[in-house]
Amino acid sequence: MTGSGYGLMQETLQFVPITLYFLCLIVLTIYGMHRYWELFLYYRNSQKTPAKPTEFVMLPRVTVQLPLFNERYVAQRVITAVCALDYPRELLQIQVLDDSTDCSAQMARVTCEQFRHLGFDVQYIHRANRTGFKAGALENGSARATGEFIAIFDADFVPRPDMLRAVIHEFTDPEIGCVQTRWEHLNRTQSLLTRSQAIFLDGHFVIEHTARSRSGRFINFNGTGGVWRKSAIADAGGWQHDTLTEDMDLSYRAQLRGWKIKYLGDITSPAELPPEITAFKQQQHRWTKGSVQTAVKLLPTVLRSAQPRSVKIEAFFHLTSGVVYPMAVLVAILFFPAFCFAGAGVLSAEYPVLWLIMSVLFTILTFSAGTFYVVAQREIKENYLAGVLLVPFLMAIGMGISLANAIAVMEGLLGHQSEFVRTPKYGVGVNESSDQWKRRAGTFAHKAQWLPFAELAIGLYLLACVIISLWFNRTASCVPFMLVFMFGYLYVGGLSLHRLWLSSRNAKIEILEIMTPAPVV
């Protein structure tokens, strides 16, 4: 190969990773800027507090649905909490929609019988198959529901006694199809992981939901901790199970039909956060894939509808937000080669414009996430200074789960069908000992067992990039960012691998206990 040919190939090899890198970074920056826009909407509409509704002269009948699947640690707790709701017993129907295949089915059945004997209208509905998964269970229960309104709580929720009375009068407005309350976290302070999850969810509920709801944009029911008008569910086409986020799917269909979803941030529904990493990743994978499936299914309809442009733009960002995950994976992988092998001067004074662009984009990304979550903590009177300190860790966790969520995005785009993998619940709360939930966590099997190794591999790759950068003094200014990315992948991959080992070990212990004969007395 001639010198000119070799030089052309070298320039091409340098150009490709830099171009891909900046394309990914621009996409991430656009979605980062959208967070600033949501903050603007939040503050612009902060004074638009929801008007106090008129009250029903006579309270309507309400059906409470509890979809369960193998919830041995929380089934009794949620049934007991719902039976303690401060609502006239004669106007309350409780449906336990149980698809369980383990011992929890009998536990739930017995608990229902106990409360029936106490005079509660508690129906235990068990399906022999999981057709449609959670959506199928809800649709099956709705066919037997006698209430005009349907409240839904997942198994890990512990609704407050006054929740129904605080929400039900919102439906005196005939346009309200659904009311969503803010999730509160029973085990927020249990660990660094649960603190981080709480901050992530607070950002969604406090900033996103408030901004969208009060500015007239579409919002989504979050699958639990809310109440639906039964006729709105039917008018929107009922519960459908062609996506993994049946709640988001129904929400958009209902709003396209003209129904309104109201968010009440001052009314909370306490729930359990996944205390271990694989449960958290499974939950995030399902939510991400489901949102992509909903985008494929409904976004064209939304964009063709007669809705205002502001609604369409917000719906686009809302439904396509998962695209940031594959972009984040590519940025992590391309971060080093895009600059280290592109010549020593790429990030030097010889290329001031390139350096300035990269600095501005990274600044926008970093501060958009940090500001978004810190503001949410301040608004709900949490320790927002602690949130500031946690921002690097939040970024690391976001990067660490990006590979799993990137796979979810691709599966959603390609139409890959998969079962509804529930998030394991361990019955943890503010007084739960760490040892107890860890023993329980080891009893759940986890899928995608190759994924932790891939996450660790990316983390080690980034570690090697950091070492090379420092050793050869190449792109040393990028090292802090690579360290955050590296820590995220190593942390998530390492914890996931440990959880797989724990699950395997406990399974072997259970087998040995079963095979060991009982002592003769």
> Which residues participate in catalysis according to the annotation?
99, 247
Give the Cβ contact number of residue 378 at 10 Å: 15
Measure the CA–CA gap between 123 and 144, rounded to whole angstroms. 10
Q: How many Cα atoms occupy the beta-carbon half-sphere of 495 within 13 Å?
A: 19
All residues at 6 or more sequence positions from 52 whose CB lies less than 8 Å from its CB, including other chains: none
The whole-angstrom distance between residue 248's C-alpha and the CA centroid of its chain comes to 12
What's the chain's Rg over C-alpha atoms? 25
Q: Which of 272, 271, 295, 274 is nearest to 283 (CA)?
A: 274
What does the alpha-carbon distance between residue 514 and residue 511 come to, in Å, rounded to a whole number? 5
Can you tell me the distance from the alpha carbon of 69 to that of 429, in angstroms, rounded to the nearest whole number?
20
Which residues, 6+ apart, have CB-to-CB distance to 54 below 8 Å?
169, 172
- Asked if 147 contacts 63 with a C-beta cutoff of 8 angstroms, the reply is yes
Residue 184, strand partner residues = 270
Give the DSSP per-residue string, 494-518: HHHHHHHHHHHHHHHHHHHHHHSPP
332 touches 458 (CB < 8 A) = yes
Nearest to 432 by CA among 275, 280, 281: 275
Rounded CA-CA distance 314/318 in Å is: 6
Between vectors from CA 251 to CA 248 and to CA 257, what angle results, nearest 5°?
145
In this structure, the strands spanning 176-185 and 260-271 are parallel
d(CA 235, CA 254): 7
What CA–CA distances, in Å, run from 131 to 96, 240, 249?
17, 11, 17
* Calpha distance 160→269 (Å, rounded): 7
Q: Which two tokens stand for residue 381?
A: 């009177």
